[in-house]
Structure 1
């Protein structure tokens, strides 16, 4: 086939096909880089493993990875560090708001399901304040939030980092208030005990696929997860309001959400 014939054939392709092709190419490249990182970290027995909110010797908020060098978020969380490090708790507040606060520990999704079964008829919105944690539990909580058609929000100076945005994505309406701290990075379940490089790579691939599929189902743009894949696990990509809107992680601007809340 001549070059001009090839060009004409490409021009006839649907824009959606081209966009999906570009997305999957970017995702594949990002996944390769992630797997190489996992293999190298495992083989070298790196001193700084993936972020663990329960580990008191590691920073609760990893520095951002920026062109100018690692930086901290523009604002600090309002909650004390000890509150954010403890296993996630659930507390029903006024206005149908269920506060989910603390680290997403293994078993958090079961406790959330029990809370919803007991008092779910009162819950309209799940407010998040968490540094992240178990990806499996985050996926389960997010799925139940969508199943019950609940909203999610991150209040001003509340934290939603690491795997927490997976929960945030489950809301049918999603609001991050002004000065909310939302960040993403590479997340994967490493399993129990020490793993070989092949086992770690397999776990990374499986979790990447599950999270990607879940975010797509929730209507969140691919750019969010690409940013996560590009950010090492000991760093965070702190999202701006513009980025959250662009990636469809939020469904309405903070100002609109505030006016709506005041009118209710």
Structure 2
């Protein structure tokens, strides 16, 4: 007995391909919506304090605003000689600065974007020895983790020290650059914060498709911290803090993990 499908018989190849295409678009839309809802679940407002609330031991998690990562209104003034814009640049800027009472630094300021490691490499190659201070000061809300690791390895190879000065913040991926310094000095009036981050630039990929890449990225990050002489256990602060929040490390946590080798006076 031969079966017939009169409706399907009228579909030509073009219409069939269009149906498949629209089906794929519909599936993709559902997946994107599900992924977005997973990261932004509806419900009551978060009980996590905002960035403007002061940090105290046991109360260190704050809602994360990359445009304003300093976590309190009464944050100390920046050191003399530093005048940062009110918003972070979309990618790192490199500038030599002289800080009163501290000396010369190479200031890296802004978000960590794709290509910044190559840009910094070109900057270092093109600068004379006297234009390259021994210390790199950091002011960044974070950005691309893999880019931060590449920058960190470059600075370690160059034998640079790193510093977080009063009033400056180093958040998200930025602490991995901090880890690269042979000496890592942090002011108690500066801020170092960690949280979960994505290793894949495709933010629309559902998490269950990215598990392998996430694990690979975490492995590379832990290997990097070990190479830098930092306790990889510091990642507990990032792994247990959602990406919409930030965990501000206390001086004793910075020293115990060796993310800081010294707290500045």
State whether TM-score is above 0.5. Answer: yes
When structure 1 is superposed on structure 2, of 94-103 and 71-80 the one drifting more is 71-80
**Does structure 1 retain, via aligned residues, the 8 Å contact 2:92–2:116?**
yes
Match for residue 158 of structure 2? 148
Shift in Å at residue 46 of structure 1? Answer: 2.7
1:45 match: secondary structure = helix
- Residue 93 (1) aligns with residue 103 (2): no
1:93 match: secondary structure = strand
- Select the structure that is richer in helix: 1
What is the alpha-carbon distance in structure 2 between the residues aligned to residue 235 and residue 193 of structure 1? Answer: 17
Shift in Å at residue 104 of structure 1? Answer: 0.4
What is the alpha-carbon distance in structure 1 between the residues aligned to residue 39 and residue 128 of structure 2? Answer: 37
Kindly report which structure 2 residues correspond to 1:14-163, keeping only aligned pairs within 5 A, or say none.
Answer: 44-47=34-37, 49=39, 71=62, 73-74=71-72, 76=75, 79-82=84-87, 84-94=88-98, 95-119=103-127, 121-122=129-130, 123=132, 124-163=134-173
Change (3 A) 1:101 1:198: same
Change (3 A) 1:169 1:76: same
**Does structure 2 retain, via aligned residues, the 8 Å contact 1:150–1:172?**
yes
What is the alpha-carbon distance in structure 2 between the residues aligned to residue 172 and residue 96 of structure 1? Answer: 17
- Select the structure that is richer in strand: 2
Unpaired stretches in structure 1, ≥5 consecutive residues: 1-40, 51-59, 256-264
**Does structure 2 retain, via aligned residues, the 8 Å contact 1:112–1:141?**
yes
Root mean square deviation of aligned Cα: 3.0
Shift in Å at residue 86 of structure 1? Answer: 2.6
Unpaired stretches in structure 2, ≥5 consecutive residues: 1-30, 41-49, 64-70, 79-83
When structure 1 is superposed on structure 2, of 66-75 and 221-230 the one drifting more is 66-75
What is the alpha-carbon distance in structure 2 between the residues aligned to residue 131 and residue 69 of structure 1? Answer: 17
Which has the greater radius of gyration? 2
What is the alpha-carbon distance in structure 2 between the residues aligned to residue 210 and residue 249 of structure 1? Answer: 17
What is the alpha-carbon distance in structure 2 between the residues aligned to residue 177 and residue 126 of structure 1? Answer: 14
Match for residue 20 of structure 2? none
What is the alpha-carbon distance in structure 2 between the residues aligned to residue 62 and residue 47 of structure 1? Answer: 27
Q: Which one scores higher on RCO, CA 8 angstroms, separation ≥ 6? A: 1
Shift in Å at residue 43 of structure 1? Answer: 8.2
Give the structure-1-normalised TM-score: 0.69
Shift in Å at residue 126 of structure 1? Answer: 0.7
- Residue 175 (1) aligns with residue 165 (2): no
Change (3 A) 1:205 1:120: farther
**Does structure 2 retain, via aligned residues, the 8 Å contact 1:156–1:177?**
yes
